[in-house]
Amino acid sequence: LAKTTQPISMDSYEGQEVNITCSHNNIATNDYITWYQQFPSQGPRFIIQGYKTKVTNEVASLFIPADRKSSTLSLPRVSLSDTAVYYCLVGEGAGNTDKLIFGTGTRLQVFP
Amino acid sequence: DTEVTQTPKHLVMGMTNKKSLKCEQHMGHRAMYWYKQKAKKPPELMFVYSYEKLSINESVPSRFSPECPNSSLLNLHLHALQPEDSALYLCASSQDTHRASRGYTFGSGTRLTVV
């Protein structure tokens, strides 16, 4: 089972870069790493996905080392609206049936 | 259309009531999911449908009954619920359930209160 471990919470200030690390020691060869953002009383929102090395999009970067046992979500210059829970997900399942299991997530609080 | 639409947004029901939650997507996704989320906890997977067939039931009590009438719709029928079933119920869809196919699209959820 590819469980994930993240810090429970993080604090930051507006304009700073935030790095959230996720540990996934048992990641399978074919698994991708996906990060979601969730605001209160809303469904999680896809942020970024990667398999190895580095992926960047308009909102975040994802760094994955060669052994793929961890990954780091990087949010550049956060704002108050980035206050949310961030989940790191790695797929698991038997055969072709996939089920994404959410870990505890990291609650990010951004202060002015 | 890149959304998953859930109705109703809020639902209050008694323990003897029967109600249904609805989920709809028009992205051509062939996998749909139900998750349950309690306050300050991560979403917990309940059911997975792949090509309109139930592929995973995470040992969910029978008072929750999923249904997938077609590739765009997913229902969750509720009967004889308990107060501890009060939660945010989230529907999601993805292109398919293949391991390399990530990127779930979630709906905004139905906030269910059982009284």
Q: What is the 3-state secondary structure (H, E, C) of chain B?
A: CCCEEEECCEEEECCCCEEEEEEEECCCCCEEEEEEECCCCCCEEEEEEECCEEEEECCCCCCEEEEEEECCEEEEEEECCCHHHCEEEEEEEECCCCCCCCCCEECCCEEEEEC
Q: What residues in A contact B104, CB-CB < 8 Å?
A: 36, 44, 46, 100
Give mean pLDDT, residues B6-29: 96
Q: Is B55 on the interface with A (CB under 8 A)?
A: yes
Residue A75 has φ and ψ, to the nearest 5°, of -110, 115
Give mean pLDDT, residues B19-25: 98
| Rounded CA separation A64/A48 (Å) | 12
Q: Is B92 on the interface with A (CB under 8 A)?
A: yes
Note the pLDDT tens digit of each residue in A16-72: 999 999 999 888 887 888 899 999 889 999 999 998 899 999 999 999 999 999 999
CA distances in angstroms from B97 to A8, A96, A99, A104, B48, listed in the order given: 29, 7, 7, 23, 9
B97/A98 Cβ within 8 A: yes
B104/A44 Cβ within 8 A: yes
Q: What residues in B contact A41, CB-CB < 8 Å?
A: 88, 108-109, 111
A99/B102 Cβ within 8 A: no
pLDDT at B101: 53
Note the pLDDT tens digit of each residue in B32-59: 999 999 999 999 999 999 999 999 899 9
Asked if residue B100 has pLDDT above 50, the reply is no
Q: Is B108 on the interface with A (CB under 8 A)?
A: yes
pLDDT at B89: 98
Q: Is B11 on the interface with A (CB under 8 A)?
A: no
Asked if residue A94 has pLDDT above 50, the reply is no
When comparing pLDDT for A69 and B103, which is higher? A69
When comparing pLDDT for B99 and A60, which is higher? A60
Mutate to test the interface with B, among A97, A98, A106 (most CBs of B within 10 A): A98
| Rounded CA separation A51/B6 (Å) | 31
